[in-house]
Amino acid sequence: MRRLSITSNVAAALTAERATAATATILIVDDEPKNCRLLDALLRPEGYQTVMAASGEDALNIVAEQSPDLILLDIIMPGMDGYEVARTIKANELTSHIPIIMLTAQIDRQARLDGLSAGAEEFLTKPVDRAELWLRVRNLLRLKTLGDFLINHSLRLERQVQARTATLQRFQSAMDATADAIFLIDRASQRFIEVNATACKLFGYSREEFFDLDPAELSSITRQQLGCELDAIIAEIPAGSHEELFATRKDGSRVLVEMRRHAICSGDSMVIVGVLRDITDRKQAEQRMYQLAHYDTVTGLPNRMLFYETLRRTLVLATDKAMTVAIMFIDLDHFKNINDTIGHAAGDELLSQISARLLHCVRVRDTVGRLGGDEFAVILLMPNGPQEAPRVATKIRYALGAPFSLQGHEVTVTASIGITLYPDDADNADTLIKFADTAMYQAKQAGRDTFRFFTTQMNTEMVARLELETALRQAIENDEFVLHYQPKVQFSSGRVVGLEALLRWERPGHGLVSPEAFLPMLEETGLIVRVGSWVITTVCKQIGAWMHTDIGPVQVSVNVAGRHFLEGCLEADIRAGLSKNGINGELLELELTESSLMADSECTITTLKNMKQLGIQISIDDFGTGFSSLAYLRRFPIDKLKIDIAFIPNIMSVPDDAAVALAIIGLGHNLQMKVIAEGVETAAQLEYLRQHHCDQFQGYYFSRPLPASEIETMARHWNWN
């Protein structure tokens, strides 16, 4: 009978609970208006209605006129304090059921005991935490709903004996409809007196089996321990409890649940209401979120965030244990070629295989992470000093040197490794990784497939590089670049037949800067594309300007960077320059290196043919230093070959240099191309090249590169046309 009577009450309470948040009225009692406004702002988003009272007397009047569902009561107030208000409310049979949460800045035990003695159910400490406020209010409103029914239990039985079965069915439907498992346990008997369908499904027991089951069996504790827990729930301050634990199913498996338990007085008995939620999926989702936030999805290694956190913890440990830490920054050499040739999927597979090899090169106490792209990093904790770092670096080089199998392709990979040491080089994670990156760059400069340790000189060079990059970006914005022009002379006539446009930088405070000092940085940063576009625009404008003077049409050659060529904007820049300045393509010549021609041969051939249709001349610059295939060379619409300047200074004294130069002249002529020698500085060099039928030359023997104004003076003096 007890089970059925309590069940009826709880069922109705649970049914009523669904509307509680939307209809519940909460009385806020505080003599500080700002506190009332703050609590109102916290409660209203949850759907609660609020009424405010500035004193204990006002609060009692409001309670008498409209019984609120819950009271938030400040303890310290002028006149009637919170304790007296609580005692007055609890002493009245009509209002004693209203739950009270006392608000206080006092956290001492006596204040809480006084509040409990006055009749408060809960305490909240100022300043109020929003989440805690919502939970306290929600839980007490739930208890109030259940309590209201239990308090009037006997009266309801008398009036609703005929409807007991229907009420029980409605209760069971309400309980069974919720996604949470619900238990009701009688304290005296320590037995289940009701469970819902979710509980049966979660634990694998039927409802009848639950009634014969000892609740202690679900959590693998003794009956005595269960009794102590139930008593603790009844006596707990604040009321209610919330925890995560593993519960045992009928089949012996364990499930992680979130449990909330509250004690309710029903006549002479205490009933413990337990609400359990299976949080397995939530925990798995949290774990997945943590995994995504801290681990690389391709390799499974710690990502940049977790690697930095691990390094900081390692440095603390190394400090305590007086150990050395090595940080290795590993960058794969030419990794982009893998993605470009056999696809990004193969690239990801390669990264995964590389991560596995790296893990085999270090110990369990060490850390391997992927910082992004093709960059990896390693933390080595070395109790015996730094001598282990080069051994591990060598081991990594050998491990990566073995071929990888990727989608039927055999791929060989090398890496450049930078190493920095703690505490020798720096004492914090950010600086150490920056220094390791600097050392890695030095390994790249040394030819790749090697490692380098960080030194102060490396750092100085890196700072200088960063300053140079910044200055170059400003140079583009501030229009600091200029063009000088070097004449090209025809051997047969001795006349100037064209000019080569050469980039110069008028850097503020440094004067005229040679291209050797800044071109590599333009290439590396990609700024060469913007600068290349500017050069083409400026040259076309200059050619157009000269055409309208007594100088007349002059053919000008422009050096084209491979990156500018491959990014697809070169043709558009040239067409725009020719069209805007009204000049013919015959007056423009493009000089490309062998390496840029070979980078994407099919695309290159198409672009060059388009250029040839415009009448533009094409020459290969620095010929003889690259590795182009003669078979490919025949496919390109090339007009001229330029003998690299490296072969000219010793062409009279070094047989190998002379042989290469003569071979280029012969090759060019056989392929119906003109041959130009650059860097001619002496009469002997000039005569040697003339005797061997070189077509054109340029160099300091005739003229250094000159600004446009001086070229104009020279043109009029020599009467080019």
Instruction: Please give the residue that has the higher pLDDT: either 175 or 168.
Output: 175
Q: What is the pLDDT of residues 544-556, one digit of tens each?
A: 999 999 889 999 9
Within-domain flag for 149 = no
Within-domain flag for 535 = yes
CATH number at residue 237: 3.30.450.20
- Average pLDDT over the chain reads 85
Within-domain flag for 440 = yes
Q: How many other C-beta atoms lie within 10 A of the C-beta of residue 497? A: 17
Over residues 446-463, the mean pLDDT reads: 81
CATH number at residue 629: 3.20.20.450
Range of 201's domain? 178-283
CATH number at residue 113: 3.40.50.2300
Over residues 349-355, the mean pLDDT reads: 94
134 pLDDT higher than 80 = yes
Do residues 414 and 448 touch, judged by C-beta distance below 8 A?
yes
pLDDT at site 409: 84
5 pLDDT higher than 50 = no
Peptide bond into 705 cis (omega under 30): no
Is there a single domain that holds both residue 270 and residue 300?
no
Q: From CA 71, how far away is CA 98, in angstroms rounded?
A: 7
Which of 225, 253, 283 is where one domain is finished? 283
Share of the chain above pLDDT 90, in %: 45
Q: From CA 570, how far away is CA 572, in angstroms rounded?
A: 5
253 pLDDT higher than 80 = yes
Over residues 97-118, the mean pLDDT reads: 85
Within-domain flag for 422 = yes
Do residues 677 and 689 touch, judged by C-beta distance below 8 A?
yes
Give the best-scoring range by mean pLDDT among 46-50, 267-271, 672-676. Answer: 672-676
How many domains does the structure of the chain reveal?
A: 4
How would residue 191 be classed by pLDDT, with cut points 50, 70 and 90?
confident
Is there a single domain that holds both residue 686 and residue 537?
yes
Q: How many other C-beta atoms lie within 10 A of the C-beta of residue 64? A: 12
Do residues 32 and 106 touch, judged by C-beta distance below 8 A?
no
pLDDT at site 115: 85
pLDDT at site 702: 93
Phi, psi (deg, nearest 5) at residue 559: -75, 130
Within-domain flag for 530 = yes
Q: From CA 71, how far away is CA 28, in angstroms rounded?
A: 6
Listed range (265-279, 387-401, 688-702) with the worst mean pLDDT: 265-279
Q: Which residues contact 113 (CB under 8 A, 6 or more apart)?
A: none
CATH number at residue 407: 3.30.70.270
How would residue 308 be classed by pLDDT, with cut points 50, 70 and 90?
very high
Q: What is the DSSP letter of 582?
A: T
How would residue 1 be classed by pLDDT, with cut points 50, 70 and 90?
very low
Q: From CA 8, how far away is CA 160, in angstroms rounded?
A: 10
Is there a single domain that holds both residue 341 and residue 228?
no
Do residues 190 and 217 touch, judged by C-beta distance below 8 A?
no
How would residue 309 be classed by pLDDT, with cut points 50, 70 and 90?
very high
**Sheet with strand 122-125: strands edge to edge:** 49-53, 25-29, 70-74, 100-104, 122-125
Is there a single domain that holds both residue 586 and residue 632?
yes
Instruction: Please give the residue that has the higher pLDDT: either 242 or 536.
Output: 536
Q: From CA 466, how far away is CA 453, in angstroms rounded?
A: 20
200 pLDDT higher than 90 = no
3-state SS, residue 564: helix
Is there a single domain that holds both residue 596 and residue 690?
yes
Q: Which residues contact 101 (CB under 8 A, 6 or more apart)?
A: 70, 71, 72, 73, 120, 121, 122, 123, 124, 136, 137, 140
Is there a single domain that holds both residue 640 and residue 504?
yes
Is there a single domain that holds both residue 182 and residue 100?
no
Which of 283, 317, 349 is where one domain is finished? 283
pLDDT at site 2: 41
End-to-end CA distance of the chain: 121
Over residues 496-508, the mean pLDDT reads: 95
pLDDT at site 677: 95
Which of 249, 283, 317 is where one domain is finished? 283
**Residue burial 169-207, b: 16+ Cβ < 10 Å; e: rest:** ebbbebbeebebbbbbbbbeebbbbbbbbbbbebbebee
Is there a single domain that holds both residue 439 and residue 490?
no
534 pLDDT higher than 90 = yes
pLDDT at site 159: 60
Give the best-scoring range by mean pLDDT among 96-110, 602-616, 685-699. Answer: 685-699
261 pLDDT higher than 50 = yes
Q: What is the pLDDT of residues 71-90, one digit of tens each?
A: 999 998 998 999 999 999 99
Q: What is the DSSP letter of 79?
A: S
Within-domain flag for 163 = no
Q: From CA 301, how far away is CA 366, in angstroms rounded?
A: 12
Is there a single domain that holds both residue 247 and residue 108?
no
Q: Largest Cα–Cα distance in the chain?
A: 129
pLDDT at site 480: 96
Q: What is the pLDDT of residues 211-235, one digit of tens each?
A: 888 888 787 677 777 778 777 777 7
pLDDT at site 28: 94
Is there a single domain that holds both residue 299 and residue 269?
no
pLDDT at site 85: 93
Instruction: Please give the residue that has the higher pLDDT: either 719 or 566.
Output: 566
585 pLDDT higher than 60 = yes
12 pLDDT higher than 70 = no
Q: What is the pLDDT of residues 597-653, one digit of tens each?
A: 766 667 778 888 999 999 999 999 878 665 555 666 777 889 999 998 889 999 988
pLDDT at site 237: 44
Is there a single domain that holds both residue 515 and residue 595?
yes
26 pLDDT higher than 80 = yes
Is there a single domain that holds both residue 574 and residue 698?
yes
pLDDT at site 150: 63
Within-domain flag for 467 = no
Within-domain flag for 229 = yes
* Chain centroid, CA 368 distance in Å: 18
How would residue 435 be classed by pLDDT, with cut points 50, 70 and 90?
very high
pLDDT at site 217: 77
Over residues 249-271, the mean pLDDT reads: 80
How would residue 30 be classed by pLDDT, with cut points 50, 70 and 90?
very high
